[in-house]
Amino acid sequence: MFLLSALTAPFAAAVLLWSGYGFPTEAVSFGMALVAAATIFFGSAIRVQLPGTSVHLTASDSLIFFTMLTFGGELAVILGACEALYSSIRLRMNGLRMGVQTILLNVSITSISVFAAAIAVTAFFGRPEAAIDTVTISQLMLIMIAMGAAQFLVNSTLVAGFISIRNGESIIQVWNKNCFSALVIYLSSALFAGLLAKAFLQVDVYLLSAIGIFLTVVYFTYSRYVDAVRNSSAKAEKAERERAEQAELHITELEHYIKQLENSTSALRESHEKLHHTVYHDPLTGLPNRNFFVDHINGLFEQRVENGEEFAVIFLDINRFKTINDSLGYMIGDEMIRTVANRLNSSGVSSCSVGRFGGDEFAVVMSGIRSTGDAIAMAEWIAAQVAEPYDLLGRSVFATASLGIAVSDDRYSNAEEILRDADIAMHNAKEAGKPYVVFDQIMHARAVSLLELETDLRMAVERREFELFYQPIVNLGDATVLGFEALIRWNHPSRGLITPGEFIETAEKTGLMIPMTIQVLQTACAQLSRWKRARLAPRSLMMSVNLSASHLSQPDLVDRLVEIINETGVDPSCLKLEITESAVMGNAEASIDVLKKIQRLGIQLSIDDFGTGYSNLSYLHRFPIDTLKVDRSFVSTMEDGSENGEIVRTVIALAKALRLSVIAEGIESIHQFHQLRILGCEFGQGFLFSRPLPSDEATRLLEDPGRWSHILPNHDAGVIARNFEYTHMRIQ
Ligand code: C2E
Ligand code: MG
Ligand code: MG
């Protein structure tokens, strides 16, 4: 490379010197300057690709040949050198790695090769700028060929030499590979330049220059336009490609999503089937449940409309199942339920379907029956099946069932109605201790009136239709009033006064007992306060109010009691709550807790109807109670030496042992009164003294405290021990 530079540089310098020396200063003109500027600054930028080849014809080659033909070889050499220098510098500035040596080599090669072309033309045709004027077209062609060929030969040889030195290849190989195609460039450039120079002579120079400038502008505009078009089409292509890729991606995602959807659909179907099974089946036995039966029975009603086919619903409840469950445990209870399910399913009657409604309740639906007799036969078979002994996890167990039968008829229009009646019949069977009962009109009427009672009772609570009657509790020692028991009466708008026996049970079942008792407590406490404020009653006068079992389990009972005490201003120690023996014993431990809380308020507690339940004496001792009330059934039938008389004596003894006071209920005769006094019973209530009275009559009773003094034996007012815990009124 250095060698080549060293060889070419002096030649180039000589050539340039020669050119400078021979430069035709007299020919300097605007046209020359224009051509020179165009050659140097734009020549290499304007390039046209030869069709079908990768060879580009740059305007600079043509312009240099053109200069040679128009202004002489000297200017062409200088222009060639300047153009080579300028374009090399530009390439370097655009980032091409090109050393100064390479730039000089480029300049040298160009100068020498242009010089060679000038010499070749001059040698054959004389100075080209002079020859062009006179030559014919065919001579011009020869000049062109000589000019192009000479430049090509020198240029390509030098370039090939340079590349072969740099790459270590043979010069022929390099020339053949890289330079041969340049022959076309030079020949075409020379040809174009020759034609241009000839045309120049014929046409006005300035006009041609203007056209040249115009064409250059057009060319640049065109090439920018082409670039823009190419850019935008590239952009469009890119966007299209991106869109296609996006679409492809989208399709893949879609396929994935569809797959997921298919998976979740099948999972959904599966879980729907499971859910369906759960919703319609009982988990313990796998039998259809109530939901299933409701749908099934509704279907049978539809069929009945079409073909008149009757069917029966048999409701079954295992008697004492709770006892079995509680005493033998839930495992055995569950096993029993499964065994019953299997037995019911073994009837082999295809028109029968068996279901479990929860707990120990089963239902059998028998379709296509000819008469009620078919359903009864089935019920008998079921009862016999349930009554078969059970061997449950190694234990022998016996059970019976109560069954209720309801047969489809025109009264029913849907499953709920017939199921309800089969249930009512079953409860009737249980109450009556029968294996089965067929639902009939009487039951229906009873059920309807019960429903009416429920509705009326609901209204009664809202409208506060309850009234309190007060029955005096009497000190049997001196026949004075110790206090009153508040007893509820329902002032029914059409039926008049109704006693609690008719509605208490319904109130308990429907939950109305709670608001009802609250009203009773409020009224009774308010009444007691009123009497005391009016000084009609001594400060110690007691008010007893009955509290139901359901109330005892109310979490807010104590709070409500506090509210009532505060509202009415009643002295809590004058309030006594009566709770039946069965109510407190039902859930003894929990009752103890609640009763203690009530006791802490200062309220007294009494066990009502004592003797009718199954009191556990160890509990009795733990209950924080003050009083036992001997049930009326013992008092009313106590005669000297009778069994009930003994019970009363025992209860009184028990109360004394537990330091409790005793009240005998239901004293109706003077005989009972005296007997109780002799037994040491301190207090009593009963029709002998007074029936339960409305408040105004009870007020009058208070105003007349000596009204029962006549029943006291004159000489014996002190049979009763005098250490009563209660203060009481004296007979005046
Ligand atoms: P109880 O608490 O044992 O009330 C005594 C019942 O015996 C009252 O019946 C009363 O009229 C009746 N009685 C009193 N002395 C005699 C008598 O000498 N002979 C006869 N044959 N009966 C007598 P009543 O008022 O019909 O109450 C019945 C039951 O209803 C009460 O029995 C009580 O358990 C319940 N009860 C009454 N009022 C209420 C209340 O406000 N709340 C609650 N939870 N239950 C109440
Ligand atoms: Mg009572
Ligand atoms: Mg009682």
Mean pLDDT by 10-residue block, N- to C-terminus, for the chain (732 residues)? Answer: 76 89 83 84 72 63 86 89 87 82 86 89 83 80 86 85 80 77 78 80 66 64 64 80 88 88 86 84 93 95 94 96 89 94 89 92 95 96 96 90 96 93 95 95 87 94 97 96 97 94 93 96 98 93 94 92 97 97 84 94 96 76 93 87 86 93 96 94 97 97 90 58 32 26
DSSP strand pairing (466-475 vs 542-547): unpaired
Residues lying with their CB under 5 A of ligand 3, a single-atom ion? 608-609, 665
**Would you say 551 and 517 are in contact if contact means Cβ atoms under 8 Å apart?**
yes
Ligand showing the shortest atom-to-Cα distance for residue 515: 1
What is the CATH topology of the domain spanning 290-439?
Alpha-Beta Plaits (3.30.70)
The CATH code of domain 2-203 reads: 1.10.1760.20
Residue of the nearest CA to atom 10 in ligand 1? 692
CA angle 159, 163, 167 (to 5 degrees): 175
Ligand 2 centroid distance, CA of 722 (Å) = 26
Question: In a mutational test of the pocket of ligand 1, which residue from 469, 487, 579, 584 has the highest number of ligand atoms less than 8 Å from its CB?
Answer: 487
Helix (H) or strand (E) holding 262: helix 205-280
Give the residue whose CA is nearest to atom 21 of ligand 1: 666
Q: What is the 528 CA–ligand 2 centroid distance (Å)?
A: 17
Up-side HSE of residue 383: CA atoms within 13 Å toward CB?
21
C-alpha 462/C-alpha 442 separation (Å) is 30
The pair of structure tokens assigned to 506 is 């319904």
Rounded distance between C-alpha atoms, residue 72 and residue 570, angstroms:
140
Residues lining ligand 1, Cβ inside 6 A: 471, 487-488, 499-501, 504, 517, 520, 546-548, 578, 608-609, 632, 665-668, 685-687, 692
Integer Cα distance of 441 and 437 in angstroms: 12
CA distance 200 to 210: 12
Residue 498, beta-bridge partner list? 490
- Tell me the whole-structure pTM to 2 decimals: 0.55
How many angstroms is it from 725 CA to the middle of ligand 1? Answer: 25
Which CATH number is 466-709 given?
3.20.20.450
Atom of ligand 1 nearest to the CA of 685: 15
668 CA closest ligand 1 atom index: 18
Which atom of ligand 1 is closest in space to residue 513's alpha carbon?
A: 44
Indicate the top mutation candidate among 503, 519, 546, 577 to test ligand 1's pocket, ranked by most ligand atoms within 8 A of CB. Answer: 546
> Ligand 1 atom 4: the closest Cα is on which residue?
487
pLDDT of res. 727: 31
- Kindly report the protein residue whose alpha carbon is nearest to atom 33 of ligand 1: 546
Contact 366, 349 (CB under 8 A): yes
* DSSP-assigned beta bridge partners for residue 364: 314, 354
Residue 185 and residue 193: Cα distance in Å, rounded? 12
Residues near ion ligand 2 (Cβ under 5 Å):
546, 578, 608
Closest C-alpha to 606, from 619, 588, 625, 622: 625
Strand partners, 473: 483
Protein residue with least CA distance to atom 34, ligand 1: 546
pLDDT of residue 394: 87
In a 13 Å sphere around the CA of 381, the CA atoms on its Cβ side amount to: 17
What are the sequence ranges of the domains in the chain? Answer: 2-203, 206-278, 290-439, 466-709
Whether the Cβ atoms of residue 570 and residue 525 lie closer than 8 Å to each other: yes
Please give the Cα distance from 86 to 334 (Å, whole number): 106
- Measured in degrees and rounded to the nearest 5, phi and psi for residue 560 equal -65, -40
Ligand 1 atom, smallest distance to 500 CA? 30
Q: Give the ligand 1 atom nearest the CA of 629.
A: 3
Provide the pLDDT for residue 225.
Answer: 60
DSSP string, 479-512: TEEEEEEEEEEEEETTTEEE-GGGTHHHHHHHTT
